[in-house]
Amino acid sequence: MTVMLFIIVLTASFIIVRVGAVAFQLTGLEWSFAKFQALSCFSGTGFTTKEAELITSHPQRRRIATILIVLGNAGLVTMIATVASALNPQQTLWSKLSESYLPVSIPRHAVPWINLLIIVIAVYVIYKIFTHKKIATKLTNSLRMRIMKRESFKPVSFEELLLLSGGYGVSKIEVSEDCPLVNKTLAESQLRKDDITVLAMVRADGIMPNPLADTKILAGDELVSFGKLENIRNRFGETGKVK
């Protein structure tokens, strides 16, 4: 029974992590990042400061992370306990089967090794099933539909930084009156030299998508920019204003 309990808990753990990944994605995280964060919360490993800020600064993500952490700790303790019990020849299903149902009696000292082999095979088979592309896609789509029916998620705001590969992302830069960029064109601002591209300019009278190089930057503008997040922070600070 202990081996069976381990298999059940392990299967449930894979499903819980997948549910967490889907939930994170619905809050605006990119899918590969959402999967990693769900696994990190469930296992209690893998966090960095920047990644933790994306979770802790968002109410819905904090709630999802809390549930994953609690279930992860409970699941880990259960699996450790079941493995320890399975390696005890006095309390195993195989030892009882060997005494009554199996044609060949299994030595008691061999029972823990048989149980360990079953656990290793179970881990491998379950991992292959849940990482199979078609199965994973069907499971993810099914979970996404169920979650969307039960809870609504807020759309991602422009202000939120979207961490992408290589440290690139989207951020909003607020242009203050004393900003050196005021009354300069985008070409004159030389933002491209810092690997920063302005995707849109937000003004009181509306949004100007994909502004031209000769577009002037005015005080009060908000520049929705894509680039190396570290470069954006170094040039404009954490608040999005010139230092």
Domain count, the chain: 2
pLDDT band at 106 (very low <50, low <70, confident <90, very high): low
Q: At which of 150, 179, 206 does a domain end?
A: 150
Per-residue pLDDT at 184: 92
Per-residue pLDDT at 111: 67
Q: What's the mean pLDDT in 186-191?
A: 90
pLDDT at 36 over 60: yes
Higher pLDDT, 20 or 168: 20
Per-residue pLDDT of 51-70, as tens digits, reads 677 777 777 788 888 888 88
Same-domain pairing of 146 and 169: no
- Burial (CB count within 10 angstroms: exposed 0-12, middle 13-18, buried 19+), residue 233: middle
pLDDT band at 109 (very low <50, low <70, confident <90, very high): low
Same-domain pairing of 109 and 139: yes
Q: Is residue 143 in some structural domain? A: yes
Same-domain pairing of 12 and 42: yes
Domain that holds residue 130: 2-150
DSSP 3-state of 197: strand
Pairing of strands 222-228, 168-174: antiparallel
pLDDT at 128 over 50: yes
Most confident by average pLDDT, 19-33, 119-133, 207-221, 226-240: 207-221
- Burial (CB count within 10 angstroms: exposed 0-12, middle 13-18, buried 19+), residue 243: exposed
pLDDT band at 165 (very low <50, low <70, confident <90, very high): very low
User: Could you tell me the CATH number of the domain that includes residue 225?
Assistant: 3.30.70.1450
Q: At which of 92, 123, 150 does a domain end?
A: 150
- Which of 14-23, 86-95, 128-137, 189-198 shows the lowest per-residue confidence on average (mean pLDDT)? 86-95
Region of residue 210 (left: phi > 0; alpha: psi -120 to 50; beta: else): left
Q: Is residue 156 in some structural domain? A: no
Same-domain pairing of 45 and 135: yes
Same-domain pairing of 131 and 183: no
Same-domain pairing of 85 and 120: yes
> Which letter, b or e, does each residue of 105-137 get, where b requires 16 or more Cβ atoms within 10 Å of its Cβ?
eeeeeebbebbeebbeebeeeeeeebeeeeeee
Is the Cβ–Cβ distance between 154 and 168 less than 8 Å? no
